[in-house]
Chain A
Amino acid sequence: MKLYPKLAVSGMAKNARLYLPYLITGSMMAAMFYILGFLNFSTAFVSMGGGSMGVLISLGWAVIGIFSAIIMFYTHTFLIRRRMKEFGMYNILGMGKLSVCAVLLWENAITAAVVSVSGVLIGAALSKLAELLLGNIVHLDVGYDFSLSPISAAITVIYCFVIFTLIFIISAVRLRLSDPVGMMRAEAGGEKPPKVNWLLGIGGFILLGAAYWMAVTIEDPIDALNMFFFCVLMVIAATFILFIAGSVMICRLMKSSKRYYYKPNHFVSVSQMSWRMKRSGAGLAAICILCTMVLVTIVTTTCLYSGMEERLRDRYNNDMASYIVFRNFDDASDENYAFLRQAYTDSWNECGLTPKKTSEFTFTVMNVPVEENQFILDGNIISDDLDEAADWIPKMEQAYLISADDYMKETGIDLSLSDGEAALYVRGAGYNRDTLRIGEREYAVKTILSEPGITIWTGDAVDAGYVLYIIVPDFRELVETTCLIPNTLTFSHTAVYRYIGIDTDAPDEAQADALWLSKNKTDELWAKYNNISVTKEDDRVSEHPFVYTNERSLAVDRNDFYSAYGTLFFLGIFFSAIFLMAAVLIMYYKQISEGYEDQTRFGIMRKVGMTDRDIRRSVNSQVLTVFFAPLAAAVLHLCFAYPMLSRMIYLFGVNSRGQLLAVAAISVGVFALGYLIMYKVTSRSYYAIVSGDGD
């Protein structure tokens, strides 16, 4: 039987306006799917990229697979709705439902073949580009040789056929359940005019307002992170309610103003919109949410990526940074420090790291509560009472204490602090008092520094962006009398940290080698002391000269950061492309199907005396509203999400809000441009349909 494939092909060709975008989007999604599969199996990345990158790529691959399947299912319902009429006619002309099913099977088989083959071809063509892009983003060298991934290609083809088989089954079931006369009937008449649901409409505005208010007023980054999901849910609900009920309400309000309503531009569009919004409101809301997701994804991933260097700067005083933790100042004697110092300098020398600058200083870590965005230093920080401490613990942030001498040695800045004076550097929260008290000691705040001049980071605090440096002249006395209370386990109990770090121009590999070497050397030292069975409970506890050591390398961390955040950024771009494609496709089908509905209406209006210019103008104002309402709402959402986003990103150490703003503005601009192009294309085909040359 050659009839079925012929009918399938001619049916698709006749409906090219519907099928072409479907095939193109399908192919692009298949291409994206292939590319992520390709990267997933790419040996270059698996071996070089490190753990987080491989996991992220696999995860992204799965998400893209699921998402593109949903999009294909959804868009196919638009297609099949248009085709039902034709199938109904076949049915009435005496073709059994089984035969119609055969046509449908052929259609899906052809679609699957076209989509998978062109998807793999496009994917293969673009995969090198994607690989180079990812390589560039995560700072990995990838060669220029081209390769094809047979596994990924096979999986892509199989996945396409699975999806289109499912689509076929669903449409076959639909066909089975429908009756031919019902299929022939184009649009159901006698629909009631949409009722205004004032309660829901106003409720939607209130819900949205509440979510916006929360987003704007939440100050604390951790709260922002916790409440973000809740706010997102509220905004999604409000968006749906407002697009469905609120839009009808607004149309009704516009109608009630006779002077506004009875204008040639508004008359037709407002009345058509008020009917249409009930049906297409949900779709528009979905598009709006998609757009918002794209913008938020792009903005956050870009910020995280571009904020990496800043974050690294906040953690590294030097390229190679190490510190040794001692129990007290006696243990932290120069003598004990010397052999550990030796271990570091040896490691660095052995790996060829020539120090450009060496930094050495002593500091200690303490916990300082933050209340109402202010650090509190009123002596309460030292407490042996665990019950009392329990109230404070959730509010605690880490603060670093350093002597004025060491500060001057490291930064060259003479703060000229006299006894009873202290200098502070604060970030993330403020300090609004003139004095500070640590335990029994009280200091006058002499200066609050605008730049820290020094970077201390012990990494065991939540990276919440809170920084507090306290610089005092009587460092040792203060620590010994208030912070170092032996054998107490309260949270305030602390230790003495001796820091040593160097800056170097040595290559990344050498720095990584030096890091591992120094870790080995200090481990050996620690083990040596452990072998003489020194335990904490032991009275001879002080015979074990150091508690632990910590070594870090900026170069190694930077590579890890790039691999994690870079991959995230890459996926952000990838997902945005897919979301955008999905949004545009939904929009396109919405316009097309509405165009067919409007064809008769505009025909009538033309007969009654509507000029082509009027029609064009009315079409424009409608398409413009339908197209740009979701985008406008998405941008509004982003604007209100912005304060919350900036606080959340702050948690990841990105401080500069200007950067977030710039990224947001650029993303919105680029996104709107892409949107505009799609609008031009879409409105042209819509106009072609309503003006009648389309059918």
Chain B
Amino acid sequence: MSILEVNGLKKTYVTRFGRTKVEALKNVTFSVENGEFVAVMGESGSGKTTLLNILAALDRPTAGSVRLDGLDITSVRESDLAAFRRDNLGFVFQEFNLLDTFTVEDNIYLPLVLAGKSHGEMSSRLIPLAGALGITPILKKYPYEISGGQKQRTAAARALITDPKLILADEPTGALDSRSTDELLKVFSDVNEKGQTIVMVTHSLRAASRAGRVLFIRDGEIFHQLYRGGCTQDEFYRRISDTLTVLSSAPENEAR
């Protein structure tokens, strides 16, 4: 069953006085099955951030539709969007986006508090999650007191605690060292194994090789996709690497 269906997505940016039009997304169609772990790769300017923003309902497409669990998110009213995001989506950002005035615990609670959940329910959700992510000892600390890896795991916990239909991760390993990257990717793999659907935009081969499927995006279009199938992580890594080589070496017109 597809949890996310993206159909004929198009996004055109017009400069302020309408002189130039930039097509960030030309025609993007793909779907994500429930429980899948999909990585989206592409160079800077390829349109992957635009895609993610539209999936996150932070931006509206020029044409096309995005269906999350059957609901067209482009039809959600502006005023309901924030609540929609809170209830259905979980976000992990490159810059962590933790609030410096909150403790780790309160940062994780934030979406639940906004949803009006009681403290008892929140803490019963947090305890197993914090254990799984290895952040139980730092719950009472403030963001400035913890490492980058811990911050990102906190952000992951904040995304996961609402039990979202879909986790959207934007370069989640971009600001992490290799050890923290591995730790975070292990977290992603683990929650994915338990059935969590994840869409992750990334530059990192190592990150992408953890996914079940990799979408390659170039010039606003899906250029190629790779399924992990039965191969090991190393094999998958090599295949992704090969594809990227082709992607970057092939001249634009030949690539089609």
Contact = CB atoms under 8 A, between A and B. Distances in A.
A610 B86 CA distance: 8
Contacts of B100: 189, 191, 601
B109 to A, nearest CB: 7
A275 B116 CA distance: 24
B119 A614 contact: no
Q: What does DSSP make chain A's interface, helix, strand, loop or mixed?
A: helix
Contacts of B111: 608-609
Interface in B86-102: 86-87, 89, 91, 93, 97-102
A673 to B, nearest CB: 33
Given A267-B106, A614-B82, A608 B158 contact: yes
B107 to A, nearest CB: 9
B144 interface: yes
A263 B113 contact: yes
B99 A605 contact: yes
B114 A259 contact: no
A262 interface: yes
**Residue from A193, A272, A601 whose CB has the most chain B CB atoms within 10 Å:** A193
A557 interface: no
A193 B142 contact: yes
Given A605-B110, A607-B58, A608-B110, A262 B122 contact: yes
Given A609-B86, A614-B82, A267 B97 contact: no
A610 B109 CA distance: 13
Interface residues of B, number: 33
A271 interface: yes
Contacts of B144: 189-191
Contact of A267 (B82, B87, B110): B110
A271 B82 contact: no
A262 B93 contact: no
A357 interface: no
A606 interface: yes
Contacts, number: 76
A259 B91 CA distance: 27
B83 interface: yes
Interface residues of A, number: 26
Given A190-B144, A614-B82, A609 B114 contact: yes
Contacts of B114: 264, 267, 605, 608-611, 614
B85 interface: yes
A605 B107 CA distance: 10
Contacts of A263: 113, 116
B95 to A, nearest CB: 9
Interface string A592-610: 0000000001001111111
Given A259-B119, A262-B122, A604-B99, A609 B82 contact: yes
Nearest to B117: A262
Nearest to B81: A611
A219 interface: no
A608 B86 contact: yes
Contacts of A607: 56, 58, 85, 91, 93, 97
A442 B177 CA distance: 102
Given A190-B144, A604-B97, A609-B82, 15 more contacts: A259-B119, A262-B117, A264-B113, A267-B109, A267-B110, A267-B114, A271-B99, A601-B99, A601-B100, A604-B98, A604-B99, A607-B85, A611-B82, A611-B83, A612-B82
The list of the 3 closest CB pairs from A to B, nearest first, reads A609-B86, A611-B82, A258-B119
14 contacts: A189-B100, A264-B114, A267-B110, A274-B101, A604-B99, A605-B99, A607-B58, A608-B91, A609-B83, A609-B87, A609-B115, A609-B162, A612-B79, A612-B82
